[in-house]
Amino acid sequence: MDGDTERKPEGLLPKHIGGELKSVNQAAPLSPLLPPKEPGQLDAYLKSRATETFDLRRERYEKRREALDNAPDLEVVLRKRYEQQNGEPAPEGINLSFQVINDFRRLVKDAQTYRKVSKDARDPVERAHGTLVYNQLKTRIDREYLHDPDALSFEKAYREYIQSRNSYVNFLSKLEEMKRVEGLLSEPSFKSLPDGEAFDEVDYSRVERVMRSGEIATSLEVAPEMNELEATLRTIYAEGTPEYEELRGILLSTTKEVVPKTKKGLQDEHDKAKNTALELFSDGMVRRFWREKEYNDLIAAFAKGEDVIETQSVIANLNKLNEWEEQHQRTTVGGVLTGPPGVGKTTLVRHYLEAQGRKFVYMDLSEDVTRYLLYGSKAIEFKTSTEHHRALTEQLAALGTDDFRKFVVENSSTLSQVFHLNGDEAVSAYLDLINEEVGKAQIDETQIQNIRGKVNDLASTVFRKELAQEFSHLVKKNGWRDGVIIAALRRGDSVIMDEFNKNRNWSLIYSLLTAKPGEDWYFADNDETINIPDHWRMYFTANIGRRHSAFVVPEALASRAQGKVVEVGYPPMQEEMMVALSSMSDAEGNWLRSVDDLGKLYLTITEVVPAVRKYIEDKPQTVPISYRTIRDLGEKLILYRDRETKKPIYKATGKSFDAALYEVLIESQKAIFEDQVVPREIVNICTRLGLMMDDDIKDKVAGWIGEEAYEERKKDQEGNQKSREQIIEDFRGLAKDAYAMIGDTSEMGMPIQRTF
């Protein structure tokens, strides 16, 4: 690693600031007191020495605080320097001081990593390399942050940062406390308790265990970050100095929860935690830290290849499903999810069940769903020739010699028809042998018994053969004798019923809509009573809208779905932008495409996507724009894994952004549907914004809008380019920093956490 490598665009920010901090990192000189020569004066000397040292340190500390208070704000310093270097004011959307502090933290983190290598590596060469790089990074930190006339402004900003970070940690702990208390209050044993009655020993132990476990979980979550912040403190201040101890005390000053002794006390603790969280979240820096965490979680989810990214809107819908199940425990309807295609309705239910460790089966109700498929049947009859063969062997064994002789002679010509043996050469040859022996003029007793044995063997052989054939037929027809729902009930698996608005026969599931979890339910098809598991539910999903509906939704479902319908719409633009940034970044959150592509992505999410959605909302036969579209775009522009080794590689593909956008938005539309009006309008929307104008797709785009219009918009692209340059400047070209610029954090509501 090159310690001086920077990822941000050159000239975007002023040089890092620093300052002479010798008074901080070097101990102040002590007055030249000589040790006493007279006996008995040693104690007095040591006491005066300690007093003077303390007084000097306190005096230096007070002067330091006064200097910090009077230092100009770092943001003012940086903006002034930016304007001097670039000849224009810095963009209003960027917090330059926050950027510098984050860069400082990254440098310190890298330095600490190499310092550890220099101490712990077994290979001497590796240790030497670690020491060399650590010294390079430490020199850079000293030069750019700690040895500059404006160092006091940086130190002042960093102290404020530490205090804000501590507020954020407290905010996280309050969210966790609210979640734990809500979980306790929802438990049946606590619901039934009077508000003011003191907990008994068992309930109090339960409350204490839950509250303390939450403290541990919260501390584990923030421990790595706190360790990192302490490392940066040691870089600025010497350990043991008043400045170091003061800020370290702030880092460790998270509040501890008390253990309530009554249900009312538990409710009061919840309300107190909520009010504190709201107050803390009113701080813009706390909101920013939260958004940073949300984005980092998003990046981690993408790096793991997870299908569901738990954004705020997703978590809200997950909580709704969980809340409704808790509130409606006497119905098998777990939830009804409606909305446009591609927003992840079915995937949301799958993720919800998987998060709880519950299994499920999926059914598409738009297919030809039969009663036998749903419930199966025990009324499978075996009245075929096999049964007759079995009866034949029993009857032949009971015949006497004369009767058997008579039977064989009379029926030798029809044995093949009786046994249905035509086409089987081996059995036909066996039958010919019997006919030949029966045709002989004289047949003695021994021959009769031989023939009897052969006929019995023949009947038995045919029975076994046809039984195997019949079993094979049954397996092909229905691999299990239980239908899908019956099998799911036996296993305790919930059922996801997709496209319910296209179901042709609701009478098949009417009875299950009235069933109650936990009770025994009679299924007439099987003539069997089966227990409905407590957590067994049916979830219904469908694309609702004039162009998606096929059949009328019955009142039976509508009445039982009251209070359980989740309208899953398109996510907020901020979330889509975060997902888009994540899809084109590496596991560290670094943007992998060009800065020009970043501007194009911004225009795509903020301008193209809303316009296209509005245009196609009432158009039949169109491909919707959803998370799938965004992820498809990312997959065309970023190669996430090596095709052979399957290891993560994260590198940009050779495809241009405009070409990928054309493939995602246009190729799918024109290849699937005959109506070409929609793709033409999408091309118009994009080209007016300066998108899809790359030369490699010129012929395709001009084919939609005409050569003249294409050339005119190509000329207009220069103006659009200036707009994109402003976007790029705002975004700074780094996805991990750009996410913070998406929207105004002051408009953020209280973050939502998963409640289960």
Percent of the chain with pLDDT over 90: 18
> One-letter amino acid identity for 701?
V
Q: Which helix (H) or strand (E) holds 648?
A: strand 648-652
Following CA atoms 546, 551, 556, 557 in sequence, which dihedral angle do they give, to the nearest 10 degrees?
-50
pLDDT exceeds cutoff 90 at 303 = no
What pLDDT is stored for residue 222 in this prediction?
A: 59
Helices then strands, each counted (H, E), the chain: 32, 9
pLDDT exceeds cutoff 60 at 692 = yes
Query: What's the topology of domain 316-379+481-567?
Result: Rossmann fold (3.40.50)
pLDDT single digits (tens) 17-48 = 443 333 333 333 333 334 444 555 555 555 55
What pLDDT is stored for residue 257 in this prediction?
A: 60
Q: Residue 407 — very low, low, confident or very high, per pLDDT cuts 50/70/90?
A: low
663/294: higher pLDDT: 663
DSSP output for 687-744:
HHTT-S--GGGHHHHHHHH-HHHHHHHHHHHHHHHHHHHHHHHHHTT-HHHHGGGSS-
First to last CA, the chain: 42
Percent of the chain with pLDDT over 70: 68
pLDDT single digits (tens) 280-289 = 998 888 888 8
CA distance 580 to 577: 5
CA distance 741 to 112: 29
Compute the average pLDDT of residues 482-491: 88
Compute the average pLDDT of residues 422-431: 47
Kindly state the tokens that stand for 104.
């400082």
Q: Give the single-character DSSP code of 292.
A: H
Mean pLDDT across the chain: 76
Q: Residue 73 — very low, low, confident or very high, per pLDDT cuts 50/70/90?
A: very high
Following CA atoms 575, 577, 580, 582 in sequence, which dihedral angle do they give, to the nearest 10 degrees?
-70
Kindly state the tokens that stand for 160.
């404020």
Which phi and psi (to 5°) does residue 237 adopt?
A: -115, 150
What pLDDT is stored for residue 736 in this prediction?
A: 53
Compute the average pLDDT of residues 741-748: 53
What pLDDT is stored for residue 396 in this prediction?
A: 62
CA distance 428 to 612: 71
The set of residues, in sequence order, having a beta carbon less than 8 Å from that of 243 and lying 6+ positions away, is 24, 61, 64, 236, 237
Which phi and psi (to 5°) does residue 280 adopt?
A: -65, -40
Compute the average pLDDT of residues 251-272: 79
pTM: 0.68
Which residue shows structure tokens 């036909």?
Answer: 428
Q: What are the angstrom distances between the C-alpha of 350 and each of 66, 301, 579?
A: 59, 17, 20
Could you tell me the sign of the dihedral formed by the alpha carbons of 162, 164, 167, 168, in that order? negative
Q: Give the single-character DSSP code of 497.
A: E
Strand duo 494-498 + 538-543: pairing:
parallel
- Cβ-count burial 505-524 (b if 16+ within 10 Å, e if not): ebebbeebbebebeeebebe
Residue 681, phi-psi category: left (phi > 0), alpha (psi -120 to 50), beta (remainder): alpha
Q: Which of 8-12, 160-164, 389-393, 608-612 has the highest mean pLDDT?
A: 608-612
What pLDDT is stored for residue 706 in this prediction?
A: 93
Q: Which of 172-176, 315-319, 381-385 has the highest mean pLDDT?
A: 315-319
DSSP output for 241-267:
SHHHHHHHHHHT--------SBHHHHH
Kindly state the tokens that stand for 745.
């954090």
pLDDT single digits (tens) 337-348 = 988 887 889 999
Could you tell me the sign of the dihedral formed by the alpha carbons of 159, 57, 252, 102, in that order? positive
CA distance 286 to 597: 30
What pLDDT is stored for residue 296 in this prediction?
A: 82
Compute the average pLDDT of residues 63-88: 87
pLDDT single digits (tens) 128-151 = 888 999 888 888 888 888 777 788
Compute the average pLDDT of residues 290-307: 81
**Residue 210: other Cβ atoms inside 10 A:** 15
What pLDDT is stored for residue 655 in this prediction?
A: 95
Which phi and psi (to 5°) does residue 496 adopt?
A: -100, 120
Compute the average pLDDT of residues 602-606: 90
Compute the average pLDDT of residues 641-652: 86
pLDDT exceeds cutoff 80 at 527 = no
What pLDDT is stored for residue 703 in this prediction?
A: 93
CA distance 187 to 197: 16
Compute the average pLDDT of residues 275-300: 86
623/689: higher pLDDT: 689
542/58: higher pLDDT: 542
What pLDDT is stored for residue 497 in this prediction?
A: 93
What value, to the nearest 5°, has the Cα angle with vertex 295 and ends 292 and 301? Answer: 145
Q: What are the angstrom distances between the C-alpha of 746 and each of 146, 259, 286, 288?
A: 33, 34, 11, 9
Please answer whether residues 284 and 746 qualify as being in contact, where contact means their C-beta atoms are separated by less than 8 angstroms.
yes
List the single range of 38-47, 571-580, 619-628 with lowest mean pLDDT: 38-47
pLDDT exceeds cutoff 90 at 5 = no
Kindly state the tokens that stand for 355.
């998060």
Compute the average pLDDT of residues 175-192: 82
Q: Which helix (H) or strand (E) holds 464?
A: helix 445-477
pLDDT exceeds cutoff 90 at 686 = yes
Q: Residue 423 — very low, low, confident or very high, per pLDDT cuts 50/70/90?
A: very low
Closest CA to 581 of 341, 302, 308: 302
Q: Is 618 exposed, middle or buried (0-12, 13-18, 19+ CB in 10 A)?
A: exposed
pLDDT exceeds cutoff 50 at 508 = yes
What pLDDT is stored for residue 409 in this prediction?
A: 60
Kindly state the tokens that stand for 642.
């090596």
Q: What are the angstrom distances between the C-alpha of 518 and each of 372, 491, 732?
A: 24, 14, 57
Please answer whether residues 12 and 729 qualify as being in contact, where contact means their C-beta atoms are separated by less than 8 angstroms.
yes
What pLDDT is stored for residue 372 in this prediction?
A: 78
Compute the average pLDDT of residues 452-469: 57
pLDDT exceeds cutoff 60 at 422 = no
Angle between helix 698-705 and helix 707-731 axes, rounded to 10 deg = 120
Compute the average pLDDT of residues 205-220: 67
Following CA atoms 364, 370, 372, 373 in sequence, which dihedral angle do they give, to the nearest 10 degrees?
-10
List residues bridging with 339 in a β-sheet.
Answer: 543
Helical spans, DSSP H, in 529-639: 555-560, 573-583, 595-603, 609-616, 627-637
Please answer whether residues 20 and 151 qualify as being in contact, where contact means their C-beta atoms are separated by less than 8 angstroms.
yes
Q: Give the single-character DSSP code of 605.
A: I
What pLDDT is stored for residue 35 in this prediction?
A: 46
DSSP output for 374-406:
HHB-S-----SHHHHHHHHHHHHHH--HHHHHH
**Residue 247: other Cβ atoms inside 10 A:** 21
What pLDDT is stored for residue 421 in this prediction?
A: 43
Kindly state the tokens that stand for 133.
């790089």
CA distance 232 to 481: 67
What pLDDT is stored for residue 707 in this prediction?
A: 92
CA distance 346 to 303: 23
List residues bridging with 360 in a β-sheet.
Answer: 494
Please answer whether residues 147 and 20 qualify as being in contact, where contact means their C-beta atoms are separated by less than 8 angstroms.
yes
What pLDDT is stored for residue 342 in this prediction?
A: 77
350/108: higher pLDDT: 350
Distance of alpha carbon 663 from the chain centroid:
26
Which residue shows structure tokens 């992840």?
Answer: 344
List residues bridging with 641 in a β-sheet.
Answer: 648
Closest CA to 593 of 402, 733, 449: 733
What pLDDT is stored for residue 149 in this prediction?
A: 76
Helical spans, DSSP H, in 187-241: 188-191, 201-236
